[in-house]
Structure 1
Amino acid sequence: MKNILYIFVSLFIITSCESFLEETPVNIITTDQVIVDAESAETAVLGIYSRLQIGDGGYGNHNINLPGVASDEMVHSGSFPTIAEIDDNSMSSNNATTDEIWEEHYTGIFQSNNVLEILDQNPDLPGFTEGSRATIIGQARFLRALFHFNLVNMYGDVPLATTTDLETLSSISRTNSSEVISFVISEARQAASELENAELGNDVQYRANFWAAKALEARALLYSGDVSAAGSVANEIIESGEFSLADNYSDLFQPGSVTNDEIIFSIFFSNADQNGNAFQHLPSGRFEYAVSPQLQAALFADENDSRADLIALNEGDALGRYHFNKYTDIGTGTDGVIVFRLAEMYLIRAEANLGTAAAVADINTLRARAGAAPISNATLDAVLNERFVELYAEGHRWFDLIRTNNAVPVMSGINSGFTIDDTLFPVPNRDILQNPNLSQNSGY
């Protein structure tokens, strides 16, 4: 029996949708035109990954840079007024730049739900082995969880979307953030089970895999406040022996580094789907984002810390600002973007073991690689500082400030008038106008 499907943007169909919750005409297609066998299911899953590659709303720009410029990690050095609003923590409810994150993530969620629904409703589609079917389902589940996780961190309470039914979606309301985080943790665990014997070939580091699901679980547990459980999962990843720290910090950000043994999951870019981060960071591109004075001071605090080598003075900038050199390939845009890597797991484990010799050892393992002097006491401030200098320009700092209740103390010293309301992005105003069950975040 054919199921009627409503598909937004994907690799295999283009629609006229302008917003996740707008009731505008969309293409209506049947199951047998989209996913009819294992091969077409694989194509559908690849379409979900394309949402992660998007620059305006995905990891090709916004997911890394907008949280960075909202925090004390980056400053706006370009000309986009909507990014200047984020830098100043003065966003309006019609900020087109943050709207793109919402739209692209919910498009990815819709595509994920589409795959999950079709495979659930059609258990006898041809071409699958038992393992390949679980691999497709696990990838879609992981990606749906990752999209929801990013959204809840940026917007707070968000719609928890687990269906492709347009009538339901057109009137969906926001779900409490703690419930969304619980959903992410549960889905990450289920995805890990489905991906334990995944058939991914050589694509394992840029396809959802067992250890990527574990890493998502660890980070989500950390953000939920269950630091002890997060540390246990991080320890499982470290002790698995599947990953090892790169010999040199800079090795992680070289061409072809997507296959480095430290990387658990990254976003792959080809010439066709270019990573825009280098273009946004470098003086030879837009130079839209510069290194903040706070990050510069943290990196230069130890003159031997090699992690400072991946920022560079922009010689042509009258203000003497530094630019980021983690992404350097403007020509083809093929730099991979790291989502999860082993160093983060060391820092999660250290945070779970504050005040212990084990936590000191985890932090000093990373500092020794960078040539920085060892620390002697693993306080929360020490862990947060290490996360600042180890994980900069990878999309962590803003959420570290928020989850540890440091956003207001830190940011009010940079932008006067900063309040707790400024820690969340605005829900797109046009979606609120279309759906009376959606409410706006406080302060917008």
Structure 2
Amino acid sequence: MKNTFITKTLSKCIVLLSMLAFGITILAGCKKYITVDTPPTSVSTQSAFKNNAAAIQFVTALYANMSGANGNGSYVSTSILPELSADNLSLYDKNMFRYTDYYKNSLEAQYLTSGEQDTYWVINYKQLYTINVAIEQLIENRYLTPAVAKRLLGEAYFMRAFYYFYLINFFGDVPLVLTSDYERNGSLSKTSQTESYKQIETDLSAAETLLDTKYVSADVLTTTAERLRPNLSAVNALQARVFLYQKKYTQAETAASKVIDQPAYALTDPASVFLKNSTETIWALQSVNVGYNTYEGSIFNLPPSGPNGNLFGGYPFFASSSLVGSFKPGDARKTEWLGVVKANNRDYYYPKKYKIPFIANSKDLQEYEIVLRLAELYLIRAEARNEQSNTIDAVSDLNALRVKRRETGSGTVENPLPDLSATLTQTQLRELILEERRHELFTEGGHRWFDLRRSGTIDKVMAIEEVEKGGTWESYKIYYPIPRYDLMSNKSLIQTPGYSN
């Protein structure tokens, strides 16, 4: 009988983690399902946490999996799928398998037909199971060097919070899986977003006590310039976002300031933002696939022939006319972060935040996939301050960002983006902040989709956009549906409101 991922993976209690970054594999699972000797390239869960190297590799596998070139499950999926659902990306072939249902917001067709073992839901619950195993094994661990166990546990708590933030913002209420108890997990019902946010805050508070502001290398003890493992600033950055989404504006401002005030971070010009280890980088992912600097760079940068309808190895996306037309004169983000090719008698603009395309056999990494960066913290603090009626300081934060966004690598653009006036009202600033977030964060981490929903503007915007897309907009589509097989396997689950089972 076919099963949902939660039942299929958690009940079997086996997680196979491809350790691409280390060239090994970790096999973690319950004893009852390990019926043959563990192969030389694998280790059991129990032995994985009895020495530093294996424990580090177990946790590092989470980052390797996040950076994999999988358009539905790795981190890049948050930069593609919700952007298609929103109004920043256009799909060249409006009937393209896998992407068209996100683009037309008709996910019933994709989520309710087949097993869909590579959906965002499936892959993220797989990662969460692994995280829960790590947390259980790291708490009061007697085998590892205390500093190693402490660091890994902090990272694991942070990662659990990170994954749940995305799950609840994509699906609304979701099962809150906090253990590796497969019998219990296989029958969990949904937890409210309010309770899930409480758990996210709890996990981030735990991570805050375990991590510091240093960046560490592969041994998690030696400091490094590589910003590839989450640290205390990453925790504070995610806290700021979580507080903002819950309208806890005082806490959001405080958390954002903790990062902004760190001397390790500074705003830079748009041409430099997405270079590896830029001063705006808080946490990034290093590619584990030879030939890729970032998956975004490989799929968004259009060739001279323009976009096409090829699913694998093709270029199916381009920037929407709505996004392109929303930039003001003098905004270097348009010139630095949007490219253009002329094909089929029209101009196709495309995202080029990451400028290096796929280069076969290349191992030269000049760009990392940035997950958290400083500019978002300025935007969070500006919004939090504005909602507390502190419009003057909100404008100051926005202007600090705009000063850098009217620069290019070679200097200031002609007729540069002007400063905002200190006399703007709270209502005017709300609209400007939403626009500023769009220009700053497009094709990154799902921000536009989430911002439209939480700002209450999604129905108005999407009713217009769906005419262009060829779909039909209804309000319940602000969240994605749960795959049918999960509903069939776990009778305690109910579908996302509005969707049929």
SS across alignment from 2:465: coil
Structure 1: stretches of 5+ with no match in the other structure: 18-24
Matched, 1:124 2:145: no
Matched, 1:287 2:315: yes
Q: Deviations over 1:16-41 (max 9, x none)?
A: x9xxxxxxx96578544332212111
Matched, 1:307 2:333: yes
SS across alignment from 1:415: helix
Q: C-alpha separation between the residues in 2 aligned to 1:426 and 1:93?
A: 10
Q: C-alpha separation between the residues in 2 aligned to 1:123 and 1:60?
A: 30
Matched, 1:342 2:374: yes
2:285 paired residue among 267, 274, 277:
267
Matched, 1:235 2:257: yes
Matched, 1:250 2:271: yes
Matched, 1:202 2:220: no
Structure 1 position 170, deviation (Å): 1.2
Following superposition of structure 1 onto structure 2, how do residues 38-437 of structure 1 map, counting pairs within 5 Å? 38-54=52-68, 55-59=70-74, 61-78=76-93, 80-92=96-108, 94-95=110-111, 100-120=119-139, 123-126=141-144, 128=145, 130-196=146-212, 199=221, 201-202=223-224, 205-246=227-268, 248-253=269-274, 257-272=275-290, 274=292, 275-284=294-303, 286-299=314-327, 301-302=328-329, 304-309=330-335, 310-329=337-356, 330-331=358-359, 332=362, 334=365, 335-354=367-386, 356-371=391-406, 372-376=417-421, 377=424, 379-395=429-445, 396-415=447-466, 417-437=472-492
Residue in 2 that maps onto 1:21: none
Structure 1 position 271, deviation (Å): 4.1
Q: Deviations over 1:199-229 (max 9, x none)?
A: 3521652101110011011111111221232
Q: C-alpha separation between the residues in 1 aligned to 2:173 and 2:200?
A: 13
Larger Rg, first or second structure (1 or 2): 2
Q: Deviations over 1:96-151 (max 9, x none)?
A: 7795211221111111111111122x62114x1x3222101001111111111111
Instruction: Decide whether aligned partners of structure 1 residues 60 and 153 sit closer, same or farther in structure 2, where only a CA change above 3 A counts.
Output: closer
SS across alignment from 1:265: strand
Instruction: Decide whether aligned partners of structure 1 residues 239 and 363 sit closer, same or farther in structure 2, where only a CA change above 3 A counts.
Output: same
Residue in 1 that maps onto 2:50: 36
Structure 1 position 93, deviation (Å): 5.5
Q: C-alpha separation between the residues in 2 aligned to 1:26 and 1:197?
A: 40
Q: C-alpha separation between the residues in 2 aligned to 1:209 and 1:200?
A: 13
Instruction: Decide whether aligned partners of structure 1 residues 137 and 414 sit closer, same or farther in structure 2, where only a CA change above 3 A counts.
Output: same
Residue in 2 that maps onto 1:22: none
Q: Deviations over 1:51-108 (max 9, x none)?
A: 3113233445311111111111111124633311111111116337795211221111
Q: C-alpha separation between the residues in 2 aligned to 1:279 and 1:27?
A: 39
SS across alignment from 2:194: helix
Structure 2: stretches of 5+ with no match in the other structure: 1-10, 20-24, 39-43, 215-220, 304-312, 407-416
Instruction: Decide whether aligned partners of structure 1 residues 134 and 93 sit closer, same or farther in structure 2, where only a CA change above 3 A counts.
Output: farther
- Read off the aligned partner of 2:440 and give its amino acid letter: E
The answer to which structure has the higher helix fraction is 1
Q: Deviations over 1:341-366 (max 9, x none)?
A: 11111111110122522111111111
Q: C-alpha separation between the residues in 1 aligned to 2:33 and 2:53?
A: 25
Instruction: Decide whether aligned partners of structure 1 residues 136 and 273 sit closer, same or farther in structure 2, where only a CA change above 3 A counts.
Output: farther
Q: How many residues align?
A: 424
Instruction: Decide whether aligned partners of structure 1 residues 281 and 348 sit closer, same or farther in structure 2, where only a CA change above 3 A counts.
Output: same
Q: Give aligned-pair identity as a percent.
A: 26
- Read off the aligned partner of 1:57 and give its amino acid letter: N
> Do 2:482 and 2:495's aligned partners in 1 also have CA atoms closer than 8 Å?
yes
Q: C-alpha separation between the residues in 2 aligned to 1:323 and 1:197?
A: 35
- Read off the aligned partner of 1:233 and give its amino acid letter: A
> Do 1:314 and 1:320's aligned partners in 2 also have CA atoms closer than 8 Å?
yes
Q: C-alpha separation between the residues in 2 aligned to 1:434 and 1:273?
A: 39
TM-score (norm 1): 0.89
Instruction: Decide whether aligned partners of structure 1 residues 93 and 366 sit closer, same or farther in structure 2, where only a CA change above 3 A counts.
Output: same
